[in-house]
Amino acid sequence: MTPLLSIQDLKVEFRMGQGQRAQAVKGISFDVPENTTVALVGESGSGKSVTAMSVLNLLPENAERSGRILWRERDLLKTSLRDLQALRGKEIACVFQDPMSSLNPVFNVGQQLAEPLMRHLGLTRRQAWARAEELLGEVGIPEPKRRLLAYPHEMSGGQQQRVMIAMALACEPRLLIADEPTTALDVTIQRQVLELLGKLRERHRMSLLFISHDLGVVGEIADRVVVMRHGAIRETGPVAQIFAAPQDAYTKALLACRPALDSNPGRLMVIDDHIAGRGAAAAAQAKDPAAPVVLEVRSLAKSFWLKEGLFGKREFKAVRDVNFKLRRGHTLGVVGESGSGKTTMGLTLLRLHEPTGGEVIFDGKNLLKLSDRERQLMRRRIQIVFQNPYASLNPRFTIGQALIEPMTIHGIGTDTAEREQRARTLLEKVGLDGRAFGKYPHEFSGGQRQRVAIARCLTLEPEVLVLDEAVSALDVSVQAQVLNLLKDLQDELGLAYVFISHDLSVVRFISDEVMVMKDGQVVEQASAEQILLAPQQDYTKRLLAAIPRGYRPAA
């Protein structure tokens, strides 16, 4: 039987200037049969996204492709741009990782859904809007008629991703390319999106090319798996075979890299550890339960006032009555779905949001009552690492400038030479060599940028770090490296962490105590082991049940 899509000996090179070239894909071949889900799996830089984007030539202008990409026996490498544009959205559609960078912020959802319907199917505006409403209902968005008038920023991350899926399905394509569509979503929304994609694939009898770095996710949705590394295919086969009897050492490493819920090693093994045959680390050492308390939060609250009607407004309580103590060298994990208030809580205790009520006691002082000058001095000692380091690093500053600037502002170091030496030492501490000092953020991978963000925080010698989804968008191997780094820094410097995440397996590895939040309130709080192995609340049990577990044979 002829496959729907056949990639044969595909090579992709990028012209880098000064006659240099970088080969991203090195002669790979695989098929996507009809009504089948094929997953491309690998770390960042493995070539999986470049491969998928080659199908519709959604690559930058400096890319050169060779080989054959047969779409129903028609070679897309020899197809004109005009014909490719006719294919895009109509026969082959794409869903990307970050919906906010794909959705137009100045058009409402209805306008963006109606556009491909009018362009490809020739529907009138009235017909297109009626169909757009049906599509929003099909992807599970409540009150679809009202949401047609909403703008992307007015929707949650999960709703934005559903809108992207609705747009991709608008013209009922034969193939849907989904590039990391669930990576930055919390576990329950991720579960909903995976189930939605599976149902839609069956209902529309389409094929799915699913790209991910997480084999746990892939095992729940794929029929066949293609494992890539450094632009080449390392292993391919049915999903049951890949999970039950992987042949390649790299595939085995990917399967074993992710933190587990039922064990807690002192360090996570990374890809190179597995391939080199190094053994697993010993179990984590217990922390000192009598360590001094460095941060105490009492009845913390944060409300936002939302417009209602012409002159009215109503109070939205984003954080309500949060209490905890954080000891030196310990980690408090904060988990919950999107909208649970965990990030708002973290920003409020740092006064990046002004609190509505409560106390944050640090070094005997209430941070919420400090003057601007006192707060500036205290801010040295409590730092934050955000989810997206590219958004928090100045693209016009070299890495060296980014590290030296906070030291200059806070008067750390006697002169520029001393600050530069300190910055270089910190880069080495987070696993980056001296060449990183003069480079810019765009020259680094996501994991490397996160290391730079951590190094920048360390320039001020903080005692507490708030880590807001700091590893959620990283692939499993880089995530393991960053988590190991955080544990090493904690052991060496006695840092205390408030670790905010939607990934409970990561929280299990890094945390001593876990706080579960829902609708701005703490619903459960206990040791990491007790919360994850014997949860008391139904909400916590639902979060645990939503974690992707990989391929499980039908009973």
Q: Is the per-residue pLDDT at 554 higher than 60?
A: no
Specify the number of domains making up the chain. Answer: 1
Q: Which amino acid is it at 143? A: E
Looking at residue 129, its pLDDT comes to: 94
What does the mean pLDDT of the chain come to? 87
Q: In the predicted model, what is the mean pLDDT of residues 528-533?
A: 86
- Confidence band of 550 (pLDDT split at 50, 70, 90): low
**CATH for 499:** 3.40.50.300
Which DSSP string corresponds to 477-513?
HHHHHHHHHHHHHHHHH--EEEEEES-HHHHHHH-SE
Angle at 447 between CA 444 and CA 450, to 5 degrees: 90
Q: What span, in angstroms and rounded, lies between the C-alpha atoms of 324 and 513?
A: 10
Looking at residue 515, its pLDDT comes to: 95
- Closest to 532 in 3D by CA, of 546, 544, 520, 550: 544
Q: Is the per-residue pLDDT at 321 higher than 50?
A: yes
Looking at residue 451, its pLDDT comes to: 84
Q: Write the CA distances from 228 to 47, 225, 234, 271, integer angstroms.
A: 7, 10, 6, 13
CB 549 within 8 A of CB 215: no
Looking at residue 281, its pLDDT comes to: 62
CA 475, 453, 484, 340 torsion-angle sign: negative
Task: Tell whether 87 is covered by a domain.
Answer: no
Task: Tell whether 432 is covered by a domain.
Answer: yes
Q: What span, in angstroms and rounded, lies between the C-alpha atoms of 516 and 520?
A: 10
Q: What span, in angstroms and rounded, lies between the C-alpha atoms of 291 and 299?
A: 23
Please state whether beta strands 464-468 and 382-385 pair in parallel, antiparallel, or not at all (unpaired): parallel
Beta bridge partners of 225: 39, 237
More confident residue, 508 or 324: 324
Which DSSP string corresponds to 305-326?
EEEETTTEEEEEEEEEEEEEEE
Task: Tell whether 496 is covered by a domain.
Answer: yes
Q: Is the per-residue pLDDT at 278 higher than 90?
A: no
Q: What span, in angstroms and rounded, lies between the C-alpha atoms of 454 and 460?
A: 11
How much of the chain is in helix, strand and coil states, percent to nearest 5? 40, 25, 35
Q: What span, in angstroms and rounded, lies between the C-alpha atoms of 408 and 394?
A: 16
Q: What span, in angstroms and rounded, lies between the C-alpha atoms of 222 and 41?
A: 11
Task: Tell whether 384 is covered by a domain.
Answer: yes
**pLDDT tens per residue, range 203-251:** 888 999 999 887 888 888 899 999 999 999 999 999 999 988 999 989 8
Strand order from edge to edge, sheet including 357-362 = 312-327, 293-308, 357-362, 365-366
CB 297 within 8 A of CB 322: yes
| Top-confidence range, 165-169, 279-283, 310-314, 326-330 | 326-330
Q: Is the per-residue pLDDT at 98 higher than 80?
A: no
Please state whether beta strands 63-71 and 74-75 pair in parallel, antiparallel, or not at all (unpaired): antiparallel
- For the chain, percent of residues with pLDDT exceeding 70: 96
- Closest to 243 in 3D by CA, of 551, 35, 516: 551
Q: In the predicted model, what is the mean pLDDT of residues 483-506?
A: 88
Task: Tell whether 477 is covered by a domain.
Answer: yes
Q: What span, in angstroms and rounded, lies between the C-alpha atoms of 481 and 73?
A: 43
Task: Tell whether 403 is covered by a domain.
Answer: yes
- Closest to 23 in 3D by CA, of 53, 55, 51: 51
More confident residue, 318 or 159: 318
Q: Write the CA distances from 11 to 24, 33, 277, 470, 534, integer angstroms.
A: 8, 21, 31, 34, 50
Q: Write the CA distances from 135 to 154, 205, 385, 533, integer angstroms.
A: 19, 16, 38, 39
What is the 8-class DSSP label of residue 32?
E
**pLDDT tens per residue, range 123-132:** 999 999 999 9
Q: Is the per-residue pLDDT at 279 higher than 70?
A: no
DSSP-H helix ranges across 139-186: 144-147, 157-169
Task: Tell whether 304 is covered by a domain.
Answer: no
Q: In the predicted model, what is the mean pLDDT of residues 389-405?
A: 88
Burial of 393 (0-12, 13-18, 19+ CB in 10 A): buried
Q: In the predicted model, what is the mean pLDDT of residues 159-181?
A: 86
Beta bridge partners of 66: 11
- For the chain, percent of residues with pLDDT exceeding 90: 37
Would you call 523 helix, strand, or coil by DSSP? strand
Task: Tell whether 244 is covered by a domain.
Answer: no
- Among 196-205, 270-279, 535-544, where is mean pLDDT lowest? 270-279
Looking at residue 223, its pLDDT comes to: 93
Q: What span, in angstroms and rounded, lies between the C-alpha atoms of 99 and 183?
A: 11
- Closest to 319 in 3D by CA, of 298, 340, 297: 340
Beta bridge partners of 526: 514
Looking at residue 555, its pLDDT comes to: 47
In what helix (H) or strand (E) does residue 210 lie, and over which residues does it extend?
Answer: strand 207-212
CB 199 within 8 A of CB 230: no
Q: Is the per-residue pLDDT at 99 higher than 80?
A: no
Residues of 517-534 as b/e, b for ≥16 C-beta within 10 angstroms?
bbebebbbbbebeebbee
Which residue range is the domain that position 476 belongs to?
329-342+369-545
Q: What span, in angstroms and rounded, lies between the C-alpha atoms of 277 and 273?
A: 6
